[in-house]
Amino acid sequence: MSEPDKGTNGSILAVSDIHTYYGDSHILQGVSLEVRRGECTALLGRNGAGKTTTLRSIVGLTPARSGRIVFANQDISGWTTHRIVRLGLGYVPENRGIFSNLTVREHLMVAVWASGVSSQRLDQVLAIFPRISERMDNLGQQLSGGEQQMLSIARALLGEPDLLVLDEPSEGLAPIIVNEVSDTLARIKETGTSILLVEQNAEMALSLADSVTILSQGRVQFSGTPKELEEAPRISEAYLGVSV
Amino acid sequence: MTQQLQINNVTKRFGGLRIIEGFDLELQAGARHAIIGPNGAGKTTLFNMISGWLVPTSGNISIDGKNIAGMSPEKVTEAGLARSFQKNTLFEGLSVLESLRLSIQARSRARFNFLAAASSFKDIIEQACIAAEKMNLQDVLDRQVKTLSYGQKRQLEVAMALACSPKILLLDEPAAGTSPAERTLLMQLLNELPKEMTLLLVEHDMDVVFGVCSQITVLNYGRAVVTGTPEEIRQNEDVRAAYLGKSLDQDGGRHE
Amino acid sequence: MSFFLFNLLNGLQLSMLLFLMAIGLTVIFGLMDILNLAHGAFYMVGAYFGYVLYQLTGSFWFALAFGPLLPMLLGFILQLFVLQPLIDRGRSAHLDMALLTFGILFFIIGLIDLIFFETFGLTFISIEKPDLLRGAIYVGTFYPAYRLLIIALGLIVGLLVWVLLDRTVIGAVVRAGVDDREMVRAMGIDIYKVFALVFALGCGLAGLAGVVAGAELSIDVNMGVQILIPTLVVVILGGLGSVKGCFIGALIVGMADTMTQAYLPALSMFTTYIFLAVMLMVRPQGFFGRAPKVL
Amino acid sequence: QEKVVKIGLLTDFSGVFAQLAKDIEDAWMLAYDERGGMIAGHKIEIIREDAENSPQVAVQKANKLIKSDGVAVFGGLISSGGGIALAGLADQEKVPFVAGFAVADELTGKYCSPYVARTSFAANALQSAAGAYWASEGAKTAVFMGPDYAAGHAMRDGFRRGFEGGGGEVVLEIMTPLGSTRDWGPSLLRAQQSNAEMIYSFYAGSEAVQVVKQHSDFAMKQSMPLRGDMWLYDEALWSAMGGAQLDAVQITVYTNALETEASERFKEAFKKKYDRLPVASNAMGYTNANAIFDALAVAIEENNGELPEDGAKIITALSNLELDDPRGPVRFNASNNAVQDELYMIRIVEGPEGLHHELIAHTPYGEDLPGCDM
Amino acid sequence: MAEVQQADPQTSAVAMAADRAESRTFWIVAVPGLAVLTIAPLLSGAYFVALLTEILIFAILTSGLNLLVGYTGLVSLGHAAFLGVGAYVTAIISLLWGYPVWLAMIAAVAAGLVISCLIGVLSVRTRGVQFLLITLAFGQLFHAVAEKSRYTGGDDGMTRIPRINLEFIGLDSSDAQVFYFFVLACFVVALFFLRIVVRSPFGRVLIGIRENEKRVQAVGYRISPYKSLAFAFSGMLAGLSGSLWVQHTYFINPHLMTWQMSGEALLMVIIGGSQAFFGPLLGSAFYVLLKSYLSTITDAYLVIFGLMFVFVVAFFNGGIAGFTSSMAARVLAFWRRR
Ligand SMILES: Nc1ncnc2c1ncn2[C@@H]1O[C@H](COP(=O)(O)OP(=O)(O)OP(=O)(O)O)[C@@H](O)[C@H]1O
Ligand SMILES: Nc1ncnc2c1ncn2[C@@H]1O[C@H](COP(=O)(O)OP(=O)(O)OP(=O)(O)O)[C@@H](O)[C@H]1O
Ligand SMILES: [Mg+2]
Ligand SMILES: [Mg+2]
């Protein structure tokens, strides 16, 4: 359905020059980035660089104090979170956002209720993570770390969002599942979903990304394609601590 | 000669669900051992039993020949075992320094002292600083834990376990959430641990596992499938199929 | 024999009155994690508003049906415009909320006192029972009809709330919202509205209890504070957030109260608290509460 | 320059006694008006404070009255615990305290003091009179029902003394937890099982409402009437009792059905000022205010027109008063406790203007428990 | 296994600075505060002195309670029981048995310690609301016993309880100012004791328990002795407070032991700020002064009182103390920037 967008495409998400604070500390000092329709943008950086804060600003959980965020052709600066999300956004937060006192089934029920999708969709998503289906009646707090992560991803996929915002989705997953996730993301990108991906697993991130933004200390240090990044090893050495 | 850590035929059930089934493991002092396995295999559950947070349904766990199964966590820690948590379990409202001080103070005789100022125990402060430096946390020493980024919290999680200076150290996914740069630092640190300290590691990052440990046990559905050297594990077809997947095809991965 | 049956009914009646009161608190406290000490105030508001409606219309049934609306509305406003914004500003500490709602309890008591006592000179009032329910009905023994209404009402309301919270997704959404409010918002749910509605429901139930009690007991400015502790005891005994637990808790407190008064009166001052202390030492999470997180 | 005498009206304006406190205040203001706000050349200044039915607060407010306002005397208090607390404080601070309603026997017994007096009555005296009355009416068996705390015990002991002294027997005592009893069903049933001829009961406020209503709900009015005192059937509770109080008989220290000269005067004056008839607690407040004012007048006159230094003089003067009170002649015994000639038995009946009291008998005042040596 | 390593001097400097800053703020508040508490009663009337006395007595109770609430994270709704224990022990020993008051005071403090230790051991198995309720239950049981006890006058209570005899230093404790300074001395001792406790390694563990009980266990502390002892210390101070209270009012009855009293103590702690050492003192002062003032000027004081709480919670993060210190920090920051 979103095929015609591709190519012609503007961006689905454009963040320009946002400044975000936690209390008095000025964390994001003018961050700009873009996710083009049907593409994947990877946001990389060392611990404490401001990646999560950027995502939280976009989703409206820690609103930026200044700057502009345009999502799906709407200026969403200052919007409440649930309104933003209803525009077609799926979010996998850093801490996984699992509800400790809900069973897996209830998690999925709530997600279905919130996004109004059919239960058929549920089966499709569960097929990606068979492990989850084995744990339907466990409480969130009884899941293993990796199972929580899978549930969090599944939940975001469930709503068929136009933009997936993922904060370290591979964290705590077994290598084989990381591959699975990576493949899944590649597949849904094919169907036109756009992705904003924060990852410490640079390998996975770069294999998926169409463009890369690197943050350090709340500022953008690099913005370009994965290929350009590979050709500039000094940048990745300096801001990621590895050469890619 | 008795092993430092002995786990014999340990089983754990939750209701009807068998999570760990007849698990055995023996570690000598100074061992570097990893447990890997798919998500939900029971690694964390195993850690919880060893460290006193869960009581095994059956089986024995002993440290230096002393049975610790069913002991409370603090007693196990007193017996010389420390662990980090997969899910951050930190003093969110305290500073990094305070957190580390508490870890170190736990082994000091001062811990029940209510008449002397904590600030007069300079050695504890000094050691807290050292512990922070080891994990590259010195710059955020006086920050409240809740203002740290996720990766920084993960580092503190490990630092606090290390600060207990245990005989046996259990780390549950210490590298998760840390950036490649910090990960290199972590590996370095683990490789420089005191010789006599025993390390039991759960980790999904194979670079760390292969780079630090000399023996690896693979756990699947609560059972130990194989135990072997990194090389053996890497070559094992079953392990590849069930756990490693294709990414290790080109030997060791690309980033290091 | 009929002495026992009588007391059984008495115990049931008291239990259901407590249950009506406690169910709102367990919903608000257990699900939304707000220790709403103003609950007693909503109970009062229900009773007083019911009284006013009764005076205006002369109909008990009208008062019963519409009396709970005012506490409901007030609860909605309180949650949406006072509590929630504060929680969002990071003031979710239980104690803060307890203090704030306690302040509201004071405020409402003061206000009611000002209106009804200082202005109209009314200290003790009550709603008249409808003629239909004035007599006694034969249920193995003659028993006051109004008390039978209380029993029936408790059972019906309990069932409805149980269905709403345990059998629909609403309960799960609310619990999810308490575990991680941000995540629920990030799923596109306007959790504030859900919270406010559930809060209003809880307050409405307190108001309903107020109207019912306004005919059986009496309406005065101390009623709100007096009911608070027994209600809290019921909620904790049953286990937070569980409608079933709340039912059991109410039965325990109501029956214990009645039976000791009937058979062991010397102890009746102590029973509830002895029960509570023992229970909490043996099973801190209450009958139907989930065990506290181990890991 | 005008001379002023400051008097504290310290009573329980909030809490369960709010209505009684207001009644007392109204009566004080009437007495004040009747004297034109002056006694013995001094302008009266009344400072009112709320003791909130809490002894802690009573002490704090008394401290304020004594130390900040400098009152010559203070009175009014209703709650027994508060009364005892103030008795101790008055004794320590040497500022006279005249209790207006506090009924604990100890107030003018164990804790009596040259700085403490009471213008109402002691619990035991009132209830023993009630007991004696019912025994004399031929009742042989009774159940006593009341709240399980000091005042309840005092009332019970008094009733027992009178009733059993007159040949009756209290076959069952039911003491219910104060403030935490939520249903009287079980207790009423126990009473019913005892097959006694009557229940005699002391309750106040919402507890009284509930007991009376539930007693009627259980259809016990005919088989085992509920009798009590002016607290149980207080007029302020009538609107909440929904008719259950009709025909009930009670003892009281004052009723507006009393048609003595002093009572008529009081009723008229009160009606003129407040446009309603006074109730027992108004009368109690009236005695309290008049006793204080009169005593002050005497003490000031004896001290050559000046307020005496020693507050005990005021209490001495008070103790020597003989009041022509609406309640009937009121005197004071050796422990500074008020004693009146007789008490009144009344029934609640329905008239053209609604429910009112009907005076059915006069009965002798009960004897106070032994006082103390000061 | 000895660590031979040395920390970077710069790191240690940061570490030491944190401790020093904490201690500096304490003295910046404590010295002028004590000066005010010493001078104020000399300049004011007898009634105000009585109010100040009351404030300090409550502050002993609430500061002790805060060791539980603010430091250990345990909210007790039964502390009035220990207040009552201290008060009744004092009254019984001095009034009924006729022993000297100083002896009764020592006994009261000891009784507070021992009894709260027992209750503490039973209660600390729970936490959160359950802890709140179990302490409430114990508190109510004590209250019921006091109500029932005819020996101590039941609900009527006892009056004319003597004050401590200070004649050996030539003072008369029935004098309001003299008694005030005696209470002030007790207060200073009590707060000094608390200060030592909260700064000690023991106190640090309590804070750790508040932040994350599980981690405290994981690093090797047994938590229940810590919690029980914290409970006992706070009960001990409640006992002292109760003992002073009966001397102040000459009176005791079970009203002092109701849950409402426990609730008031909690209110004072939270209004003042449970995260600050002097928060409870501020809270007590605010509560006592506001209440006595408001109830004197208006009948509708409950309305205003209630609104006041709402206001404090809504706008003063961390109570009065928290608000003051964040204002101070802001002013300081502003001043530095200029
Ligand atoms: N609640 C907070 N209050 C104050 N500072 C915060 C808060 N959360 C994060 N920070 C700070 O903001 C900076 C950016 O944090 P952020 O979480 O965005 O980093 P990140 O890039 O996601 O790091 P990581 O890879 O470790 O998750 C860090 O220095 C962190 O310490
Ligand atoms: N309290 C519990 N009740 C029921 N099942 C539980 C409970 N705790 C854990 N489990 C289940 O036990 C299994 C093992 O969990 P565990 O956390 O040990 O896995 P893990 O090997 O650490 O996985 P991961 O790598 O994802 O962290 C999981 O499937 C989990 O759902
Ligand atoms: Mg992050
Ligand atoms: Mg795990």
Between chain C and chain D, how many beta carbons pairs sit less than 8 Å apart? 104
CA geometry: angle C148, C151, C157, nearest 5 deg: 135
Residue E151, classified by CB atoms within 10 Å of its CB into exposed (0-12), middle (13-18) or buried (19+), is exposed
Query: Is residue A108 in some structural domain?
Result: yes
Q: Give the mean model confidence (pLDDT) for residues D234-247.
A: 90
Averaging pLDDT over each range in C111-125, D228-242, E93-107, which range is the top one?
E93-107
Residue B114 to residue E200, Cβ atoms within 8 A: yes
* pLDDT for residue D98: 94
Q: Residue E78's pLDDT band (boundaries 50, 70, 90)?
A: very high
Gap from CA of B44 to ligand 2 centroid (Å): 7
Q: Residue C91's pLDDT band (boundaries 50, 70, 90)?
A: low
* Neighbouring chains to C with at least 3 Cβ pairs closer than 8 Å: A, B, D, E
- The string of pLDDT tens digits covering residues E277-296 is 999 999 999 999 988 888 87
Q: Are residues B60 and B184 in the same domain?
A: yes
Asked if residue E101 has pLDDT above 80, the reply is yes
Asked whether A240 and B180 are in contact (CB, 8 A), the reply is yes
Which residues constitute the domain of residue E103? Answer: 9-257
State which ligand 1 atom lies nearest to the alpha carbon of A55. Answer: 18
In chain E, residues 213-232 whose CB comes closer than 8 Å to chain D: none
Domain count, chain E: 1
Share of chain E above pLDDT 70, in %: 99
| DSSP letter, residue A61 | S
Q: Is B150 on the interface with A (CB under 8 A)?
A: yes
Q: Which of B197, B189, B136, B130 is nearest to B170 (CA)?
A: B197
Ligand nearest to the CA of B96: 1
Q: Are residues B76 and B172 in the same domain?
A: yes
Query: Is residue A2 in some structural domain?
Result: no
Residue B104 in tokens: 């170190």
Q: Are residues B178 and B252 in the same domain?
A: yes
E326 or B35, which is more confident? B35
| DSSP letter, residue E70 | I
- The string of pLDDT tens digits covering residues B201-245 is 999 999 899 999 999 999 999 999 999 999 999 888 888 888 887
* pLDDT for residue B246: 62
D173: left (phi over 0), alpha (psi -120 to 50) or beta: beta
Q: Are residues B175 and B157 in the same domain?
A: no
Place of tokens 């027109």: D305
Q: Which amino acid is at E207?
A: I
Asked if residue E65 has pLDDT above 70, the reply is yes
Domain count, chain A: 1
User: Positive or negative, the Cα torsion across E268, E271, E275, E279?
Assistant: negative
CA dist B77 to B88, B91, C217, E133, E218, Å?
18, 18, 58, 32, 7
CA geometry: angle D97, D100, D105, nearest 5 deg: 85
Share of chain E above pLDDT 90, in %: 58
Residue D266, classified by CB atoms within 10 Å of its CB into exposed (0-12), middle (13-18) or buried (19+), is buried
Coil, strand or helix at D183: coil
Asked whether D162 and D132 are in contact (CB, 8 A), the reply is yes
* pLDDT for residue A6: 40
Distance of alpha carbon E283 from alpha carbon C66, whole angstroms: 41
Q: What is the 3-state secondary structure (H, E, C) of B81-149?
A: EEECCCCCCCCCCCEHHHHHHHHHHCCCHHHHCCCCCHHHCHHHHHHHHHHHHHCCCHHHCCCEHHHCC
Gap from CA of A28 to ligand 3 centroid (Å): 13
Between chain A and chain C, how many beta carbons pairs sit less than 8 Å apart? 77
| DSSP letter, residue D359 | E
Q: Count of H helices and E strands in chain C?
A: 14, 2
Q: Where are the domains of chain C?
A: 2-123+141-282
Q: Give the gap in angstroms from C-alpha C294 to the nearest C-alpha of chain B.
A: 8
Query: Is residue E32 in some structural domain?
Result: yes
Q: Residue C89's pLDDT band (boundaries 50, 70, 90)?
A: confident
- The string of pLDDT tens digits covering residues B14-40 is 888 889 999 999 999 999 999 999 999
Residue A9 in tokens: 């495409």
Q: Give the mean model confidence (pLDDT) for residues E192-198.
A: 94
Ligand 2 neighbour B43 (Cβ under 6 A):
yes
Q: Give the gap in angstroms from C-alpha E250 to the nearest C-alpha of chain D.
A: 6
Q: Which of D87, D57, D151 is nearest to E256 (CA)?
A: D57
Q: Are residues B151 and B101 in the same domain?
A: yes
Place of tokens 């920051």: E333
Pairing type for strands D198-201 and D226-229 reads: parallel
Neighbouring CB atoms inside 10 A of D292's CB total 30
Coil, strand or helix at B187: helix
- Minimum CA distance residue for ligand 2 atom 2: A142
- Residues in chain C with CB shorter than 8 Å from the CB of E299 are 114, 118
Neighbouring CB atoms inside 10 A of B166's CB total 22
- Residues in chain B with CB shorter than 8 Å from the CB of A49 are 149
Q: Residue B250's pLDDT band (boundaries 50, 70, 90)?
A: very low
Ligand 2 mutation pick, B13, B14, B154, max ligand atoms within 8 A of CB? B14
Residue C56 in tokens: 């205006």
Query: Is residue A45 in some structural domain?
Result: yes
* pLDDT for residue B57: 93
- Minimum CA distance residue for ligand 1 atom 17: B149
Share of chain D above pLDDT 70, in %: 99
* pLDDT for residue E332: 86
Q: Residue B249's pLDDT band (boundaries 50, 70, 90)?
A: very low
Q: Which amino acid is at E254?
A: P
Q: Give the phi and the psi of residue B152 in degrees, each rounded to 5.
A: -65, -40
- Residues in chain C with CB shorter than 8 Å from the CB of D14 are 113
Query: Is residue A6 in some structural domain?
Result: no
Q: Give the mean model confidence (pLDDT) for residues C27-47.
A: 87
Query: Is residue A16 in some structural domain?
Result: yes
Strands (E), E228-306: 251-252
CATH number, domain with residue A152: 3.40.50.300
Query: Is residue E136 in some structural domain?
Result: yes
Question: How does the average pLDDT of chain E come out, rounded?
Answer: 90
Ligand 1 neighbour A47 (Cβ under 6 A):
yes
Which residues constitute the domain of residue B95? Answer: 89-165
Q: Is C271 on the interface with E (CB under 8 A)?
A: no
Residues facing B10 on adjacent strands? B23
Q: Are residues B161 and B176 in the same domain?
A: no
- The string of pLDDT tens digits covering residues A142-167 is 999 999 999 999 999 998 899 999 99
* pLDDT for residue E2: 43
Q: Are residues B24 and B38 in the same domain?
A: yes
Asked if residue B156 has pLDDT above 60, the reply is yes
- The string of pLDDT tens digits covering residues C186-228 is 999 998 899 899 999 999 999 999 999 998 888 888 888 888 8
Place of tokens 């009555």: D121
Q: Which of D222, D263, D223, D216 is nearest to D357 (CA)?
A: D263
N- to C-terminal Cα separation, chain D = 38
- Residues in chain D with CB shorter than 8 Å from the CB of C113 are 14, 18
Question: How does the average pLDDT of chain C come out, rounded?
Answer: 86
Q: Which of C35, C90, C106 sits opposite E302 (nearest CB)?
A: C106
Q: Are residues B100 and B176 in the same domain?
A: no
User: Positive or negative, the Cα torsion across E209, E210, E215, E219?
Assistant: negative
Q: Which of E183, E203, A73, E246 is nearest to D88 (CA)?
A: E246
Q: Residue D177's pLDDT band (boundaries 50, 70, 90)?
A: confident
Question: How does the average pLDDT of chain D come out, rounded?
Answer: 91
Q: Which of E10, E11, E204 sits opposite B102 (nearest CB)?
A: E204
Q: Are residues B54 and B157 in the same domain?
A: no
Residue A41 in tokens: 């943008």
* Neighbouring chains to D with at least 3 Cβ pairs closer than 8 Å: C, E
Q: Give the phi and the psi of residue B252 in degrees, each rounded to 5.
A: 90, -5
CA geometry: angle B242, B244, B249, nearest 5 deg: 125
Q: Count of H helices and E strands in chain B?
A: 9, 10
Q: Residue E32's pLDDT band (boundaries 50, 70, 90)?
A: very high
Q: Residue E240's pLDDT band (boundaries 50, 70, 90)?
A: very high
CATH number, domain with residue E143: 1.10.3470
Asked whether B234 and B248 are in contact (CB, 8 A), the reply is yes
CATH number, domain with residue B220: 3.40.50.300
Q: Residue D282's pLDDT band (boundaries 50, 70, 90)?
A: very high
Ligand 1 neighbour A49 (Cβ under 6 A):
yes
Distance of alpha carbon D66 from alpha carbon D53, whole angstroms: 19
Asked if residue A2 has pLDDT above 60, the reply is no
Distance of alpha carbon E87 from alpha carbon E251, whole angstroms: 9
Distance of alpha carbon E250 from alpha carbon E159, whole angstroms: 6
Q: Is E300 on the interface with D (CB under 8 A)?
A: no
Q: Are residues B174 and B66 in the same domain?
A: yes
Ligand 2 neighbour B220 (Cβ under 6 A):
no
In chain B, residues 37-66 whose CB comes closer than 8 Å to chain E: 51
| DSSP letter, residue D224 | S
Neighbouring CB atoms inside 10 A of E36's CB total 10
* pLDDT for residue C290: 58
Q: Count of H helices and E strands in chain A?
A: 11, 10
- The string of pLDDT tens digits covering residues C99-156 is 888 889 989 999 998 898 888 888 888 888 888 887 778 777 778 888 899 999 999 9
Q: Residue C295's pLDDT band (boundaries 50, 70, 90)?
A: very low
Pairing type for strands D38-39 and D249-252 reads: unpaired
Domain count, chain B: 2
C-beta pairs of B90-93 under 8 Å, 24+ apart in sequence = B90/B145, B90/B153, B90/B156, B90/B157, B90/B160, B90/E212, B90/E215, B91/B145, B91/E207, B91/E208, B91/E211, B91/E212, B91/E215, B92/B144, B92/B145, B92/B146, B92/E211, B92/E212, B93/B144, B93/B145, B93/B146, B93/E210, B93/E211
Ligand 2 neighbour B44 (Cβ under 6 A):
yes
Distance of alpha carbon A6 from alpha carbon A4, whole angstroms: 5
Distance of alpha carbon C98 from alpha carbon C38, whole angstroms: 9
Residue C125 to residue D218, Cβ atoms within 8 A: no
Question: How does the average pLDDT of chain A come out, rounded?
Answer: 89
Ligand 2 neighbour A146 (Cβ under 6 A):
yes
Asked whether E70 and E194 are in contact (CB, 8 A), the reply is no
* pLDDT for residue A233: 83
Q: Give the mean model confidence (pLDDT) for residues D307-311.
A: 89
